[in-house]
Amino acid sequence: MRFVKMHGAANDYVFVDGFRDPLPDDPEVTSRLVSDRHRGIGADGLILVEPSSTADARMRIFNADGSEAEMCGNGLRCAAKLLYDERHVESDRMTIATGNGPLRVECHVVNGLVESATIDMGEPVLDPARVPVRLPGPRAVAVPVAVAGKTIDVTAVSTGNPHAVVFVEEPTDDWVLRIGPRLERHPLFPNRTNVEFVRVDGRNRLSVRVWERGSGETLACGTGACAAVVAARLANLVDDVVQVSLPGGDLTVEWPGHGGIRLTGPAVEVFRGVWRPSAAVGRDRRAA
């Protein structure tokens, strides 16, 4: 299997170019294998980019544990880079089909290659039934939730996939590594959830650490950055344009409190290679 390793703000994925190469028969197993940072390529997951009859291309995302995700902002920017750099799509503006529907991407090109991109992420979903989260009312904003011996205020929002946003004085390891996995699998979230721990640094800046559903802590999360800004904007903690600082780098999120979200950030190719998984696949299937 030929692949391209790419990252957006250090949120890294193994990409398979379905315009050129065959896609893996069992992407759930393949994602677990290639994501392993000691015995595989090392990544937060696997992304398949393939032709689409309804858009310029289609993107499918598989987390490091093999589960399929609806959307990935950092991955989508990298998918757009792959499509443009390989000239599968000639225009620097394209539409890519995702599990959250078709999304528009504007590539920022330098010397013929994409260096960054802006995604029209669509409107955030706040209706609890559509996030989904098992909470009453029209919005789940700053709702007290009991988890791991604490009662914490959680804002539930979908920016393509479910998120639980928690404002903290400091996003410490205790928050991220102890509370994060418990919130991910909290009974309130029937499809599990991503979790953002957010420190407000000013009207135009947030610091965020993310516990991602199916992957654990990652160095950045595009949909999570958007969710953090939506929650902060609803609480009147930030203005319309916010720089979100994550361990892997900065992303820019624009949201005036209504309408669609715009997410801008880097898209970087790391290396290319060939994955030969035959013996490891057998071991993985037996273990599962």
Report if residue 136 sits inside a domain.
Answer: no
pLDDT at 95: 98
- 221 is known as an active-site residue: yes
Contacts of 112 (CB under 8 A, 6+ apart): none
Give the pairing of strands 11-17 and 45-50: parallel
pTM score, two decimals?
0.92
Q: Which of 78, 107, 221, 226 does the annotation list as catalytic?
A: 221
Buried b (16+ CB within 10 A) or exposed e, 104-134: bbbbeeeeeebebbbbebbebbbebeebbbe
71 pLDDT more than 90: yes
Residue pointed to by tokens 């499918």:
60
Range of the domain at 29: 2-121+267-287
Report if residue 8 sits inside a domain.
Answer: yes
pLDDT at 136: 87
pLDDT at 277: 72
Give the pairing of strands 162-167 and 194-202: parallel
Spatial distance between the Cα atoms of 25 and 28, rounded to a whole number of angstroms = 9
Residue % of the chain over a pLDDT of 70: 96
Report if residue 135 sits inside a domain.
Answer: no
Residue range 16-65, pLDDT digits in tens:
999 999 999 999 999 999 999 999 999 999 999 999 999 999 999 999 99
Q: What is the mean pLDDT of residues 224-230?
A: 98
pLDDT at 282: 46
Same domain, 91 and 177: no
Classify the phi-psi angles of 95: left when phi > 0, otherwise alpha if psi is within -120 to 50, otherwise beta. Answer: beta
Q: What is the mean pLDDT of residues 106-124?
A: 98
Report if residue 107 sits inside a domain.
Answer: yes
Confidence of residue 278 (pLDDT cuts 50, 70, 90): low
279 pLDDT more than 60: no
Same domain, 220 and 201: yes
Confidence of residue 286 (pLDDT cuts 50, 70, 90): very low
101 pLDDT more than 80: yes
Q: Which of 72, 78, 107, 226 does the annotation list as catalytic?
A: 72
Residue % of the chain over a pLDDT of 90: 95
Mean pLDDT, the chain, rounded, equals 95
Report if residue 132 sits inside a domain.
Answer: no
- 72 is known as an active-site residue: yes
Same domain, 157 and 253: yes
144 pLDDT more than 90: yes
What CATH code is carried by the domain that includes residue 205? 3.10.310.10
Same domain, 199 and 101: no
Total count of domains within the chain: 2
Same domain, 233 and 188: yes
Confidence of residue 215 (pLDDT cuts 50, 70, 90): very high
268 pLDDT more than 90: yes
